[in-house]
Structure 1
Amino acid sequence: MVTYVLAILIAIVVLYRFEKSRIPIQPLVQLLALAVIGRWLFMTIPNVQPTTAMIMLTALLVSLNGAAILALFVPILSGLLLGMGPFVFFQFLGWLLVVVLVHLFRPILLRSKTLFLLFGLLSGFLYGWTTNLAFIEVVGTDVVKLLLLSFPFDLAHGISNVVFLVMIRPLFERIFLRQLG
């Protein structure tokens, strides 16, 4: 229960920071729609979806606040299509963790595409481990067992992040940076 309250408080801070920023809303709404549709299109392949890559690119090339808003609203809106559950808050926290880390290491990740791709692979695990907390909190399962069982799914997520980052980064830079620039 404490985690849910914490997630709600963090969400309020994210919304407040976004309201105070001067980020144009239209590109973020477009990214939000693409991320939700991307999750829906790939829902039959476990843990393969372009959403994490889009959120990472937003954090790298657009803004921390914009990426945090995507991290907040993607699980809520895609949950309307795919189903809601106690894991939605943890998805938000998982993507927010990735956003904050991309932002912290932004200077390094902007210089090295290889490191950015490696971080995309790692992000599949960071997101997975964070969402695993929902199972630990709700079901009360063994942490080590859960990490072992989730490894193939987290690996699939990480590999798909790398593939999607390679595929969409040039397009992302051309379209969305032009709108924001």
Structure 2
Amino acid sequence: MKQKQTFSFFSTYELAYLAMTVATCTVGRLLFQFLPNIQPMTAIFLIITLQLGVFRGLLVNILSVLITNIYLGMGVWTISQILAFSLIICLMGLFCQSMLFRKSRLLQALFSVFAGFLYGFIFALIDVKVYGMPQFWPYYLVGFSFDLLHAIGNGVFYLILSPIFQRLFIKTVKKQA
């Protein structure tokens, strides 16, 4: 007798891993909210994108931003946050196609630092349009110190969290097999 095969988009272990990742992003952002622009979300998004691909990185991004903004405040900036993180995740997906990039934690950490600046740039571009500001560069430059903090935080969090998430990922993959 043939067993009916069901289509599962996520394995149980992968779903648990993604849920744990969203929870880690949420707690990490809330825990570090007193420090301006220093939080582990960007680094975690990049790690997940490296491990599981762009789609899952985007999924963790959207859920994490929506959940944390329920606590911290929801507004039009939520869309800017999701879009900025999404563009960074897509760019990470492109870089992940290079084997040199995938094997070099240093290159990945450098990209995470760059992502802090890119996030601020994209966010400022969207804000200028949404709020109808007359000039982009003065607005962007005023927030540059926050982007610098975001970039430094990304690099530090990436170097700390990458090995931890790698071990968790390997354990999850072994359970799936």
Instruction: Tell me, yes or no, if structure 1 residue 50 matches structure 2 residue 40.
Output: yes
Instruction: Identify the residue that residue 37 of structure 1 maps to in structure 2.
Output: 27
Q: Which moved more, 1:167-176 or 1:47-56?
A: 167-176
- 5+ residue gaps, structure 2, are 1-6
Residue 104 of structure 2 is aligned to residue 112 of structure 1? yes
- 1:60-99 per-residue CA deviation (whole Å, 9 max, x = no partner) reads 1122211010111111110001001101011111111111
Find the counterpart in structure 2 of residue 149 from structure 1: 142
Q: 1:122 aligns with which of 114, 123, 127?
A: 114
- Contact 1:132 1:146 (8 Å CA) reproduced: yes
- Structure 1 residue 136: Cα displacement: 1.0
Q: Is 1:97 paired with 2:90?
A: no
CA contact (8 A) 2:88 2:118 kept: yes
Alignment check: 8 A CA contact 1:58 1:67 kept:
yes
TM-score, scaled relative to structure 1: 0.84
Q: How many residues align?
A: 163
Contact 1:71 1:96 in 2 (8 A): yes
- Identify the residue that residue 158 of structure 1 maps to in structure 2: 151
1:8-63 CA distance string (max 9 Å, x none): xxxxxxxxxxx984463111111001101111001111100000000000001122
Mapped to 1, the partners of 2:94 and 2:39 lie a distance apart of 24
Distance 1:100 1:31, change over 3 A: same
Question: 2:161 pairs with 150, 160, 168, which one?
Answer: 168
32-41 vs 113-122, greater mean Cα deviation: 113-122
TM-score by length of 2: 0.86
Where structure 1 has 5 or more consecutive residues not aligned to the other structure, the ranges are 1-18
SS class of match (1:77): helix
Which string of whole-angstrom CA distances, capped at 9 and with x for unpartnered residues, describes residues 81-125 of structure 1?
A: 100110101111111111111111112321222211111111001
| Sequence identity (%) | 30
Q: Is the 8 A contact 1:39 1:51 kept in 2?
A: yes
Q: Give me the whole-angstrom Cα distance separating, in 2, the residues matched to 1:161 and 1:178.
A: 25
1:76 and 1:88 in contact (8 A); partners too: yes
Q: CA RMSD in A?
A: 1.7
1:136 aligns with 2:128: yes
Quote the Cα distance in structure 2 between the aligned partners of 1:164 and 1:54: 8
- Residue 18 of structure 2 corresponds to residue 28 of structure 1: yes
Moved over 3 A (4+): 19-23
2:80·2:127 contact (CA, 8 Å) conserved in 1?
A: no
One-letter code of the match for 1:27? Y
Letter in structure 1 aligned against 2:36:
P
